[in-house]
Structure 1
Amino acid sequence: MTSKTDTKPQAMAHADEVVNLETVASRIKNGQITRVVVLTGAGISTAAGIPDFRSPSTGLYDRLAPLNLPYPEAIFHISYFSHTPEPFYAIAQARHPGNLKPTISHTFLALLAEKNLLHFVFTQNIDGLEQDAGVPVDKILWAHGNWKSQHCWKCKAGYPDDLMKKAIREGEVPYCLKPECGGAVKPDVVFFGQSLPLEFDEREKLVLEADLMLVMGTSLKVAPCSRLPRLVKEGTPRILINMERCGDFGNRIEDVCMLGSCDDGVRKFADELGWREELEALWQSAVEVKGDDQAFEGGSSLDECIAKVASQMDERMKISYGHKRMLESHLSNKLAQIMAKPVSQD
């Protein structure tokens, strides 16, 4: 889909200046904007081959239906994972970022960093593609963790990378190497029911220092990241690049809403800045540098992985329908309690 600039009322920068994409680009070029804070969600990585979560039919949650989960988000809930880790590992190989390449949107963030304009990036994604694109690690907070390491969920003992890759490649659940423990190993991503990094509370103060906030590819439905755009000081431009309007975007006169894919919006922004050629070259370089991880090559598709584990669970788990109904009721009640508090997955 081709991106388009939303036609909602545009903003006044000072009393006499309409704020739109051209205005923001002009302020960047003349040095008025020097601190860009970014918030990204799943939409920034869909072009890399990772489906988002909530899109009807194509989103991950709809495609999990064959697993008969008590609710789609259960696959990422620590309470469910602790006793039934199979569904998570059913999709682990298909969603592992080992062979994924950064998108033009990830590369735009790296270009902002190269030009000393990137103040900070908050990402709700766990794929690590911002780092692969060249964004400095000290400029990124993975609010929901990432796949770079893994530990036993129960005793927190570390687990070797090679064994983790083997388990994912074979579609098996890796278990703690300590005989007295036996807990399932979990990548260091934040599940529902787990706390966000302690660093989040400190880093969110950086939003107050922004003279531009860029929000891309997120529904802004999950706290606490959803609150970040609201922390931007009044009068500071906020740009939304997303398939649809979300949060409180459009309520401020300094908001610019670009509805469409993240990659289309980023290219349009780069055109306004005069960076398009530089951006495309940097992207090609990032794609070439990111080598394939052969541990994840030739794996099954997401839907094939889901179908396989659905069949295995029917055979192996042998849970009576009465027990299953009791478990689903218990988990649904737990979810209601959890969702009343800040959660951690987009």
Structure 2
Amino acid sequence: MVDPNTPPRTLSSRTLEALAQYVREGNAKKVVVMVGAGISTSAGIPDFRSPETGLYANLARLNLPYAEAVFDISYFRNKPEPFYTLAQELYPGKFRPTITHSFINLLHQKGLLLKLFTQNIDCLEREAGVPEDLIVEAHGSFAKQSCIECKKAYPDERMKEAITKKWVPRCLDLACNGLVKPEIVFFGEQLPSAFFDNRHLIPQADLCIVMGTSLSVQPFASLPGSCADDTPRLLINLEQVGDLGSRPDDVLMLEGCDAGVRKFAEECGWLEELEALWAKTARDDKPSTPKEKAKKSRDEKLQEEVDKLTREVEESLRLGKQQHEWLENHLDTKIARRRDEEERREEEEESQKLGLQPADDPESRTLAPVTSTRPLKADPGGGLGHVFPFLKKRPRKGVKFSGSDEEIPEG
């Protein structure tokens, strides 16, 4: 690691803020990016070598003599089935590019991306929008496939069908009948010529960004060292790798790639652009095959039935509420009438006991009223329920009033 007392040559300091200032001032016009599996793990694609979650750690179920055999060309020639079992998990189309992939595309859209060197075979850089001519797939990819014997190209749709239906594709030339393999570089095979043809661009870069790679496989691991000595190098990775951190203008962000690019983009003033660009990569779930369309149609019909039932229930509840309110009002009116009738009857009975004429007798108006000395308590229900229990406001079955859980007889 560089001595902390050693001053940087190009940047004002070995910090993210200083690097972002370097970019904002227009000093980074030729950016070279080098990436590995770590930029795709948040997309759901397993890393190859990470403990526990790494791809190699999940290959025991394939009964391989050793984990790397799945990518060994000699083993593939004799037993291709394990690779095609694994290919179902890795084949493009299942995964959405991460925001880190979109960050690389943002560099391209700003005219800053000189070249992208990737160890990944998942094609997510392409799906994120990075042009094919700016990508160097050092270990090949699923983008193309061919016969390992006669080298004839194999149609994309046939390859997708083979992987989906779990059968091993063979050359369409029956005279050849060789095994078909994606143009992924297996152990024992040469790296693509594009890797060597573009290495000369690295010394021309005015900024190098390395993300999500262990830099443990040569010759890819040697790429960052090809940068000019005074070129700033940014590492966004969970740990320090290679010789990154040994130069005066190296900036290290030891964290996840997605979090790292967000911070860098924010410092550069690009965060909103980045988020908007990444939003465009959201997967479109429109069905592509007749079977998927039929399933989608069934799902849509089911959803329509659910929506219809929901509307009916809501309407029923609305009507039920209206009926409930009407019933409450009706009961209140009926109870009030009964209360009035009972009060009049009680008054008549009380008058008869005291020898008074009925209230509608003209002579009754000449007699002094008799005031009872018996105290009357206030009825919480607003009536005389404490005197006449049958006059309490009591709900019918299924209808409750505040202050009572009893029912009243039918009126």
Matched, 1:265 2:278: no
Distance in 2 separating the partners of 1:149 and 1:286: 22
| TM-aligned CA distance change 1:38 to 1:116, over 3 Å | same
1:20-31 matches, within 5 Å, as: 20-31=15-26
Task: Read off the aligned partner of 1:160 and give its amino acid letter.
Answer: P
Aligned pair 1:97/2:97, yes or no? no
Compute the displacement of 1:289 (Å): 6.8
TM-score of the superposed pair, with normalisation by structure 2: 0.67
| Corresponding residue to 2:106 among 104, 108, 111 | 111
**CA spacing shift, 1:207–1:8, aligned 2, 3 Å:** same
1:42 and 2:37 are equivalent in the alignment: yes
For 1:147, give the aligned amino acid. Answer: F
Map of 2:201 onto structure 1: 206
Q: CA 1:255/1:172 → structure 2, altered by over 3 Å: closer, same or farther? A: same
**Alpha-carbon offset, residue 61 of structure 1:** 0.4
What letter is aligned with 1:264?
A
Q: How does 1:1-346 map to 2 (within 5 A)?
A: 9=4, 12-14=7-9, 17-288=12-283
Q: CA deviation at 1:292?
A: 7.7
**Once the 2 structures are TM-superposed, how far is the Cα of residue 163 of structure 1 from its aligned partner?**
2.1
Name the aligned partner's letter for residue 153 of structure 1. Answer: I
Change (3 A) 1:224 1:131: same
Instruction: Give the secondary-structure state (helix, strand or coil) at the position aligned to 1:208.
Output: helix
Q: Partners in 2 of 1:172 and 1:185 — Cα distance? A: 11
Deviation readout 1:112-133 (Å, 9 max, x if unpaired): 1111111110011111111211
Task: Check conservation: 1:169, 1:295, Cα contact below 8 A.
Answer: no
> Which amino acid in 1 is paired with 2:108?
A
Please identify the structure whose Cα radius of gyration is greater: 2
Q: Does the 8 Å CA contact 1:11/1:255 hold for their aligned counterparts? A: no
More displaced 10-residue stretch of structure 1: 170-179 or 272-281? 170-179
Preserved CA contact (<8 Å) 2:10 2:231: no
Instruction: Provide the rounded CA distance (Å) in 2 between the counterparts of 1:154 and 1:11.
Output: 55
- Shift of residue 15 of structure 1? 8.2
The 1-side partners of 2:290 and 2:225 are apart by 42
Give, in angstroms, the shift of residue 294 of structure 1.
Answer: 5.9
Please tell me whether the aligned partners of residues 151 and 187 of structure 1 are also in contact (alpha carbons under 8 angstroms): yes
Are the aligned partners of 1:213 and 1:232 in contact in 2 as well (CA < 8 Å)?
Answer: yes
Are the aligned partners of 1:106 and 1:133 in contact in 2 as well (CA < 8 Å)?
yes
Secondary structure of the structure 1 residue equivalent to 2:114: strand
Unmatched 5+ stretches in structure 1:
1-5, 298-346
Note if contact 2:7-2:13 (Cα within 8 Å) is conserved in structure 1: yes
Whole-angstrom distance in 2 between the partners of 1:296 and 1:105 = 34
Deviation, structure 1 residue 64: 0.5
Q: Given that residues 106 and 130 in structure 1 are in contact (C-alpha distance below 8 angstroms), is that contact kept between their aligned partners in structure 2?
A: yes
Residue 36 of structure 1 contacts residue 214 of structure 1 at CA under 8 Å; is this kept in 2? yes
Q: 1:161 offset after TM fit, Å?
A: 2.3
Which amino acid in 1 is paired with 2:161? K
Partners of 2:174 and 2:98 in 1: how far apart?
42
- Show CA shifts across 1:225-263 (max 9, x none): 110001111121111111111111121121111112110
Instruction: Indicate how the Cα distance of structure 1 residues 293 and 113 shifts in structure 2: closer, same or farther if over 3 A, else same.
Output: farther
Partner SS, residue 146 of structure 1:
strand
Aligned pairs, number: 292
**SS of match in other structure, 1:98:** coil
* Greater RCO structure (CA 8 Å; 6+ sep): 1
CA RMSD after TM alignment: 2.4
Q: Report the alpha carbon displacement of residue 66 of structure 1 after superposing the two structures with TM.
A: 2.4
> Structure 2 counterpart of 1:21, which letter?
L
* CA distance in structure 1 between the aligned counterparts of 2:236 and 2:274, rounded to whole angstroms: 17
CA distance in structure 2 between the partners assigned to 1:236 and 1:34 by the alignment: 12
- Using a 3 Å threshold, how does the CA distance of structure 1 residues 73 and 255 change in structure 2: closer, same or farther? same
Q: Given the superposition, is the C-alpha separation of residues 258 and 158 from structure 1 closer, same or farther in structure 2, using an over 3 Å criterion?
A: same
- Matched with 2:376 is none
Question: Shift in Å at residue 162 of structure 1?
Answer: 2.4
Q: Distance in 2 between matches of 1:186 and 1:36?
A: 33
CA distance in 2, matches of 1:296, 1:213: 46
Deviates more, 1:163-172 or 1:270-279: 163-172
* Amino acid of the structure 1 residue aligned with 2:254: L
- Give the gaps of 5 or more residues in structure 2: 293-411
- Moved segments of 4+, more than 3 Å: 6-16, 288-297
Identity of aligned residues (%): 52
